[in-house]
């Protein structure tokens, strides 16, 4: 099929970007979205032009590297057609010939653009570094079955831990809030007995870092949950806020 791609081009973080149109004449409906961009890049290379820079790696929806806003929707998914996928798993049969597809990077203050469609998501790493871990050194662990964990809790922890850190939640949020990402890590650790010791310090530190990175606040729009390729639930944000209040009542301040 024939497609027009309207792509964001930007040389680096210090320059202004603009949208640029490209035509593709022979897109296979069986190719993946990123393979379609590969094709375009092959064409640009052969024409002596510079290919479009975009992040991608595993191409099976788990590494969290790919990050495209397609026609205004993070990961381009249309829930009626297809269930919870990253853009690397979306295939071209979900589009129609003659369509114009607009491709943009994640747009958020916390994610500066590096080039074209690539952004810097270092802020997410720094949020985890602020407290998204359990302080246990290698070698000091008790036997794995020493403390039983109710299956239900383990399952909820896993629901939250499924987050791939792609940042679609931030890209979709009108406030560019990183609350779904941040609360998912807490939802993972706080549902396990191992995570209790640092629970309240963790919430204070991670939220403090999240704010420092320039992400906005949550106003319960739910856009994040709607685009999350791992279907992380908004409930985790509520739980995070509850813990944050408890921490305040306990008088716990940030240490980051």
**Which residues, numbered 138-157, are part of the site for other proteins (CB under 8 A)?**
138-145, 148-151, 154-155, 157
Q: Please count the helices (runs of H) and the strands (runs of E) in the chain.
A: 8, 7
State the helix-helix crossing angle for 122-129 and 199-212, rounded to 10 degrees.
Answer: 150
- Quick one: how far is CA 153 from the chain centroid? 24
**Which residue's CB is nearer to other proteins, number 221 or number 235?**
235
Least Å distance between CB 221 and other proteins? 26
The Cβ of residue 94 has, within 10 Å, a number of other Cβ atoms equal to: 14
**Cα-atom radius of gyration of the chain, to the nearest Å?**
20
Q: Does 68 bind other proteins (CB under 8 A)?
A: no
**Which residue's CB is nearer to other proteins, number 83 or number 174?**
83
Least Å distance between CB 215 and other proteins? 16
Contact 76, 87 (CB under 8 A): yes
**Which residue's CB is nearer to other proteins, number 62 or number 238?**
62
Q: Does 45 bind other proteins (CB under 8 A)?
A: yes
Among 2, 4, 20, 93, binds other proteins (CB under 8 A): 93
- Residues in 101-140 at the binding interface with other proteins, rule: CB under 8 A: 114-115, 118, 120-122, 124-125, 128-130, 132-140
Among 3, 5, 68, 90, binds other proteins (CB under 8 A): 90
Q: How many residues bind other proteins (CB under 8 A)?
A: 83
- Residues in 185-244 at the binding interface with other proteins, rule: CB under 8 A: 188-189, 191-192, 194-195
Among 65, 108, 173, 227, binds other proteins (CB under 8 A): 65
Q: Does 35 bind other proteins (CB under 8 A)?
A: yes
Q: Hey, is 23 helix, strand or coil?
A: strand
**Which residue's CB is nearer to other proteins, number 142 or number 174?**
142
Among 16, 18, 46, 220, binds other proteins (CB under 8 A): 46
Contact 1, 29 (CB under 8 A): yes
End-to-end C-alpha distance for the chain, whole angstroms: 53
Q: Does 254 bind other proteins (CB under 8 A)?
A: no
Per-residue contact track with other proteins, 14 to 33, x per CB under 8 A?
A: --------------xxxxx-
The dihedral of CA 32, 33, 36, 37: what is its sign?
Answer: negative
Q: Does 1 bind other proteins (CB under 8 A)?
A: no
Q: Which residues contact 173 (CB under 8 A, 6 or more apart)?
A: 108, 216, 218, 221, 223, 224
74: phi then psi, degrees, rounded to nearest 5: -60, 130
The dihedral of CA 140, 143, 147, 149: what is its sign?
Answer: positive
């Amino acid at each position: 099929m024939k497609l027009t791609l309207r792509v964001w081009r930007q040389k680096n973080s210090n320059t202004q970007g603009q949208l640029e149109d490209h035509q593709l004449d022979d897109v296979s409906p069986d190719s993946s979205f990123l393979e379609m961009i590969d094709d375009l890049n092959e064409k640009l290379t052969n024409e002596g032009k510079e290919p479009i820079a975009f992040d991608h790696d595993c191409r099976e929806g788990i590494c969290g590297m790919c990050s495209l806003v397609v026609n205004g929707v993070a990961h381009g998914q249309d829930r009626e057609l297809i269930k919870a996928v990253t853009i690397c798993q979306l295939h071209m049969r979900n589009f129609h010939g003659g369509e114009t597809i607009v491709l943009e990077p994640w747009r958020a203050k916390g994610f500066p653009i590096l080039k074209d469609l690539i952004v810097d998501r270092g802020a997410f790493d720094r949020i985890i570094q602020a407290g998204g871990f359990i302080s246990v050194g290698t070698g000091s662990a008790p036997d794995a079955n020493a403390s039983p964990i109710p299956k239900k809790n383990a399952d909820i922890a896993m629901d939250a831990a499924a987050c791939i850190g792609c940042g679609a939640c931030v890209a979709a949020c009108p406030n560019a809030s990183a609350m779904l990402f941040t609360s998912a890590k807490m939802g993972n650790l706080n549902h396990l007995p191992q995570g209790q010791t640092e629970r309240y310090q963790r919430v204070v530190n991670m939220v403090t870092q999240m704010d420092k990175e320039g992400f906005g606040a949550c106003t319960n729009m739910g856009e994040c949950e709607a685009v999350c390729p791992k279907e992380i639930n908004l409930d985790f944000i509520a739980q995070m806020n509850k813990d944050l209040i408890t921490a305040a009542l306990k008088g716990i301040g940030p240490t980051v």
